[in-house]
Structure 1
Amino acid sequence: MTTKPKVLLVGMGGVGTIVAYGIQYTGKADVTAVVRSDYDTLTTQGFDLESVDYGNVKGFRPTNVYKSVDDAVSKHGPFDYVVFSMKNTPDIQPIEPLIEKCYHEGIGIVLMQNGYGIHKSVLKKFPTAYVISGVSMISSTLYGRVIKHVGQDAVKVGVCDNGKLDYAKQEQKCKDFIDLYSNDKNDIVYDEDVNYSRWRKLVYNATVNSTAALTNVDIGRLELFGGIDSIVRPAMKEILAIAKSDGVDLPESIIDFMIRSDDGEWYPPSMLIDIRKGNYTEYQVIVGNALDVAKQNNVPAPTLTVLYNLLHVIQWRTMEAKGRFVLPEKRPLPEDNFHIEFK
């Protein structure tokens, strides 16, 4: 009897749940999910899906659910793939220590996360790893135990070439994952230029997502209240200029395409949901990494810089609220190098 491939999935939010369901829907692989805050809910009740792709699904659970990567590996490892669909916050929780717990030479590391250049730190730590980039344009959000999935699960999947292994082997590892995930409901395709797709998605995420989070309004209100033309469009033009400096020539038409992509929905993007929940945001990989490229290539990006700096302040506000540090009674000053004791 042939053993099914085994997929470890870290992060069961709006994206991760649809990924887990999509893979199990094919029946080609078993999914073991690592979940922390929603562990009790997922194991006792499961998640309800209100999905544009799969309809209404009650009480979905992955094949196996654990609280930690260590537990998952000890019970069901080794895995053929590990999919990261958790929030991408390297300033708070880098994924490399989690990869280390499940890593072996043949495992495929699938980065189904937001941001640009997110594979670089992984390949620095694991230079001969099979790293796969998944660019998802899904509109899916977790509310309590309900997944509201309003945009088709469409993912472009490509190779992050490590420059060490034969490219054909890396490509096959990528295409084997696509075969596990692709079904008659979703649209999972191989992408020879996944770098292009990541910049393309950043046109939305670094601008609409960031501005909605900072203003605390959904996409519809952001447009009605004047934020699209005054903030989002200028920021989008900056992303196009930065991408061009990185060798990716995005058409101007992508601006209106992204602005109109949520028409008909009062859609709150992921960063806004994080702000409303008091969670950390992915500002570093979404905006910060793009600005690193802008700085390196001398591309002006004043709007994105302001968005980034404001989101940086909010991230530290969230760190304080979550007890990552306690400020002293006496305010630290420049001569103290603004010293803060982290827990």
Structure 2
Amino acid sequence: MSHLPRKQKREILVIGAGGVGTMACVALERSGMARVTAVLRSNYEKVVRDGFEIDSVDHGKLSGWRPSHVVNKIPDASLQRPFDYVIVTMKNIPEITNIAEIIAPSVTPNHTTIVLLQNGIYTEPPIIDAFPTNAVLSGPSYIGAHERNGHVIHDDPDRYHLGVFHNTQLDRKYEQSRLEDFASVYNGNNIEHAMVVQDIVHYRWRKALWNGIYNTMCAITQLDNAAIRRSGGEHSLIRPGMAEMAAIAKADGYDLGENIVDEMVDATPIELSFRPSMLVDVDKGNPVEVEVILGNALRVARREGVQTPILDNTYRFLKLIQNRLLTARGYIDEPKEIPTADFI
């Protein structure tokens, strides 16, 4: 396994430069310790021409900002200067995307560390299966950042827990060295964005309590988090759903504490009418991360024999919505509706 010279700038690829990915690019470039290549899609031409317009709670106003390189497709790894880190911030929707296949051209075996800054629980094992000689870092992000056509509003600080998802084929000391190196680069602009932890799955489960319930139920009801609570959903759905998720985590070996439901409910004050990302995706007609946010958790529940009636029904309703979204985007071919008169 290769180790990186301390003073050499890190070559970093960011895949998924929306709000979260763009602010990752900013933090890394402004550290002075990295050269970042950002993969853009719909906003590629706009950013190449004008750069990003960024209004950031962490970095202030940036006009015409660009990372070192901007590309519109996944670049192949260079034999002379391979990517030291490949960061994935794109949404993980296995019905339409295979993350391992997408990043494969840019990953150099025995060298590139893969960093998953995405939603979900247990998204790491498929990456380790695909890249058994590469370290995998994982980090649930708490940032609030939204990008539209090259304009980024970043109104909630860029903070996330970061840890190793252990690959049994790799030496733990090597994995730890990559974790510490990446965190030092990301935090190099004197802001502690990345909070290094030793058990990242614990923190993934903590976020699953919020994402797996608020995100999903807001998407189904088309209500923001405060509206659900004011309408009586806090005690009939939100709290019981979070208790089920905590029970799954505990069966998986992660006791999140007796006050975890109160903590997660209060994390977003009722005075703040917050529209979670899954609700925003439904509003836009975009497919949602139902499998990685809720499906994976429920598969753990089935394995461990945990009863989850509220989360089961939440999953069923969300899968129906997902089917509608995938059909509308052309990912699923549905038979045309037969007019009622034809049955008469």
TM-score by length of 2: 0.90
Which structure 1 segments of 5+ residues have no match? 332-343
- Aligned counterparts of 1:27 and 1:79: Cα–Cα separation in 2: 17
Once the 2 structures are TM-superposed, how far is the Cα of residue 203 of structure 1 from its aligned partner?
Answer: 0.7
1:229 and 2:235 correspond: yes
Closer, same or farther: CA 80–262 of 1 in aligned 2, 3 Å: same
Provide the residue aligned with 2:341 in structure 1.
none
- Aligned counterparts of 2:80 and 2:229: Cα–Cα separation in 1: 48
Closer, same or farther: CA 141–258 of 1 in aligned 2, 3 Å: farther
Q: Which amino acid aligns with 2:217?
A: T
Once the 2 structures are TM-superposed, how far is the Cα of residue 16 of structure 1 from its aligned partner?
Answer: 1.1
Closer, same or farther: CA 218–114 of 1 in aligned 2, 3 Å: same
- Aligned counterparts of 1:259 and 1:76: Cα–Cα separation in 2: 50
1:94 and 2:94 correspond: no
Q: Which amino acid aligns with 1:190?
A: V
- Correspondent of 1:238 among 218, 239, 244: 244
Moved more, 234-243 or 44-53: 44-53
Closer, same or farther: CA 226–131 of 1 in aligned 2, 3 Å: same
Moved more, 32-41 or 171-180: 32-41
1:62 and 2:67 correspond: yes
Aligned 1:155-304 pairs, distance under 5 A: 155-182=160-187, 183-263=189-269, 264-304=271-311
Q: Which amino acid aligns with 2:15?
A: V
Q: Which amino acid aligns with 1:161?
A: H
Q: Which amino acid aligns with 2:31?
A: T
- Correspondent of 1:106 among 111, 121, 125: 111
Mapped contact 1:85–1:111 kept (Cα < 8 A): yes
Once the 2 structures are TM-superposed, how far is the Cα of residue 51 of structure 1 from its aligned partner?
Answer: 2.2
- Aligned counterparts of 1:238 and 1:84: Cα–Cα separation in 2: 29
Which structure 2 segments of 5+ residues have no match? 339-344
Moved more, 135-144 or 241-250: 135-144
DSSP 3-state at the match of 1:136: coil
DSSP 3-state at the match of 2:310: helix
Q: Which amino acid aligns with 2:220?
A: L
1:315 and 2:331 correspond: no
- Aligned counterparts of 2:70 and 2:80: Cα–Cα separation in 1: 11
Q: Which amino acid aligns with 1:95?
A: I
Closer, same or farther: CA 306–144 of 1 in aligned 2, 3 Å: farther
Deviations along 1:151-175, one digit per CA (max 9) or x if unpaired, are 2211111111111121100110111
Deviations along 1:140-191, one digit per CA (max 9) or x if unpaired, are 2234543232322111111111111211001101111101101323431211
DSSP 3-state at the match of 2:327: helix
Once the 2 structures are TM-superposed, how far is the Cα of residue 20 of structure 1 from its aligned partner?
Answer: 1.1
Closer, same or farther: CA 46–273 of 1 in aligned 2, 3 Å: farther
Once the 2 structures are TM-superposed, how far is the Cα of residue 107 of structure 1 from its aligned partner?
Answer: 0.3
Closer, same or farther: CA 250–145 of 1 in aligned 2, 3 Å: same
Closer, same or farther: CA 29–211 of 1 in aligned 2, 3 Å: same
- Aligned counterparts of 1:76 and 1:165: Cα–Cα separation in 2: 24
- Aligned counterparts of 1:109 and 1:30: Cα–Cα separation in 2: 16
Closer, same or farther: CA 34–330 of 1 in aligned 2, 3 Å: same
Mapped contact 1:84–1:113 kept (Cα < 8 A): yes
Once the 2 structures are TM-superposed, how far is the Cα of residue 74 of structure 1 from its aligned partner?
Answer: 6.3
- Aligned counterparts of 1:57 and 1:265: Cα–Cα separation in 2: 27
Closer, same or farther: CA 330–50 of 1 in aligned 2, 3 Å: closer
Deviations along 1:88-134, one digit per CA (max 9) or x if unpaired, are 11221011112221121210000111101111111112222211111
Deviations along 1:311-332, one digit per CA (max 9) or x if unpaired, are 111111111111123323478x
Deviations along 1:277-309, one digit per CA (max 9) or x if unpaired, are 111111100000000000000001111111111
Once the 2 structures are TM-superposed, how far is the Cα of residue 262 of structure 1 from its aligned partner?
Answer: 2.6
Provide the residue aligned with 1:82 in structure 2.
86
- Aligned counterparts of 2:86 and 2:259: Cα–Cα separation in 1: 35
Closer, same or farther: CA 61–219 of 1 in aligned 2, 3 Å: farther
TM-score by length of 1: 0.90
Moved more, 227-236 or 244-253: 227-236
- Aligned counterparts of 1:47 and 1:274: Cα–Cα separation in 2: 22
Mapped contact 1:54–1:185 kept (Cα < 8 A): no
Mapped contact 2:244–2:311 kept (Cα < 8 A): yes
- Aligned counterparts of 2:131 and 2:328: Cα–Cα separation in 1: 34
How many residues align? The count is 330
The percent identity for this pair of structures is: 37
- Aligned counterparts of 1:3 and 1:112: Cα–Cα separation in 2: 24
Closer, same or farther: CA 299–64 of 1 in aligned 2, 3 Å: same
1:11 and 2:16 correspond: yes
Once the 2 structures are TM-superposed, how far is the Cα of residue 215 of structure 1 from its aligned partner?
Answer: 1.4
CA RMSD after TM alignment = 2.1
